[in-house]
Structure 1
Amino acid sequence: MRRRRGRAVLARGLWTAGELAVTLGVVVLLFCVHQLWWTNRQARADARHEVAVLERQWENEPAESAPTPGATPSRTSDSSDGTQGDGDRTPGGGDGDGSQSPRRDQAYAVLRIPRIGLTVPIAEGTSRAAVLNKGYVGHYPHTAQPGQAGNVALAGHRNTHGEPFRRLDEMRPGDTVRVDTADARYTYAVERTLPRTSPADGTVIAPVPYSSAHPRYRYTEPGYYLTLTTCTPEFTSRYRLVVWARLKTAEPRTAAGAG
């Protein structure tokens, strides 16, 4: 009788443990579905909607003349001691020509990268909740604005929440990166990629960008730069992937057209 009762208790214990394991497995599965599918679906829809909103606004607003690249920018300090990352604020740039910056978390431009089929809004700041997790690309505060002398530095998620920079590692020298604003379209050409560096390598978004961790990756002269940053390897935030480009053309919006 005791032996039979003991087996019954053991069976109930095993059944309960099995139920808990199945429940835990379902919870983990639902979390993975949410992170890998739902956040991407929702963020991409939000990003497409915001691009459409911006383009409608620009159609109904008079465009100002676009600045003409080519004037030699003044040399500025290229030191930076912040932490550069997917959602971190990193000092390291000037304020370009001193024009007024967009409000924090405001979407105000559109990034287009034909190589990876990307069209996504650019918002001011790199807040996870207010910018990056919406599927937007974030503009690092205190770096140059599009078309300005210095370094326009942008960050985006590599995985989940729209993952706009999922394929950033596929960028090659000569690839086109376009930034559309209310006034102009700026076209940058990719020049080099830093495949992996420390999140603390904040000088990659300095006005004259360079890697303090990998000294052979550096620029030495002032110019009109664009820096794209994201986490690497995929599904981790251990390192940063960096792509550098340089401004080639600036067209007024009326000449550039939409899309």
Structure 2
Amino acid sequence: MRARVGQRVPVVVQTGGRSRTGARALWLGAETAVTCGVLLLLLVVHQLWWTNREARAEALGQVRVLEREWDISPAAEPGTGDGSGAVAESDGPEAGDGAGAGAGAGRPSSGRPSAAPSPSAAFAVLRIPRLGLSVPVAEGVSKRSVLDKGYAGHYPGTAGPGSVGNFALAGHRNTHGEPFRYINRLGEGDEILVRTRARTYVYRVDLVLGSTSPRDVGVIRAVPRSLVKPSYGYSAPGAYLTLTTCTPEFTSTYRLVVWAKLVSTAPGRG
């Protein structure tokens, strides 16, 4: 049969294949987005929860080990010098001055070190009663071998506990145990205790510098004074304790600094 002149012939367009391809692409895109979201969530959980859990457990275990050893076999400690030094980078060198101190009761030590703690080795326990904090203090400020364990790290070249000079410490504010998370809550008069094998040193918070540059090396010098904000700091020698951490929280843009002065020493357990 011939088609009549002027009669339209219907044209059928096959679209099913393209629709299925588009739907498959959308499904794959959605799966990829969900997978990325889950991985990101797991990363956040690992950083904010698991690293804290792991580091706190290790730090608490180290505190118990140190205090058990000290209670069983107390011994006199060598004196420690009062050296000063620049702020070390988080993963910088870990060698430095010793941190033992043989101060007499009520007086800071000023002798030279006769023995230095091994790099990354814990040699003291830091306690801040107001914050309910007890953490080991280790030599050096390396992230991997000190700070990420939940420890406070002793800046190489700064004084030891109880010594004339500046016993300067660094610690994480977030993740990996975050021992210094709440040091911004400390105020004038709050006590900070540092226990070593032979003695317990009691410091009292004196000044808080809320924010300064990460390169403000003046805050950990033997006589600490900010180079960025010179109105914060000291002008005379003394036995100082410095705590440093990052600020604001979850950033490393600036540094928060807490200064304390030695007020007493006592033998044995703190």
Task: Give secondary structure in 1 for the equivalent of 2:177.
Answer: coil
Matches within 5 A, 1:91-170: 97-99=111-113, 100-170=115-185
Task: Give secondary structure in 1 for the equivalent of 2:120.
Answer: coil
User: What's the counterpart of residue 208 of structure 1?
Assistant: 223
1-side partners of 2:14 and 2:255: how far apart? 63
Task: Give secondary structure in 2 for the equivalent of 1:212.
Answer: coil
> How large is the RMSD of aligned CA atoms in angstroms?
2.4
User: What's the counterpart of residue 4 of structure 1?
Assistant: 16
User: What's the counterpart of residue 43 of structure 1?
Assistant: 55
Deviation at residue 252 of structure 1 after TM alignment: 1.2
Identity %: 51
User: What's the counterpart of residue 247 of structure 1?
Assistant: 262
User: What's the counterpart of residue 236 of structure 2?
Assistant: 221
1-side partners of 2:217 and 2:95: how far apart? 7
Q: Which one has more relative contact order, counting CA pairs under 8 Å at least 6 apart? A: 1
Number of equivalenced pairs = 246
Matches within 5 A, 1:167-206: 167-206=182-221
User: What's the counterpart of residue 234 of structure 1?
Assistant: 249
**Could you tell me the TM-score, scaled by structure 2's length?**
0.85
Return 5+ residue gaps in structure 1 as ranges: 68-72
| Rg (Cα) greater in structure | 2
Answering whether residue 41 of structure 2 is matched by residue 29 of structure 1, we say: yes
**Could you tell me the TM-score, scaled by structure 1's length?**
0.88
Contact between 1:66 and 1:250, CA under 8 Å: does it hold in 2? no
- Closer, same or farther in 2 for the Cα pair 1:93/1:220, shift >3 Å? farther
Deviation at residue 84 of structure 1 after TM alignment: 5.1
2-side partners of 1:207 and 1:91: how far apart? 18
Contact between 2:89 and 2:141, CA under 8 Å: does it hold in 1? no
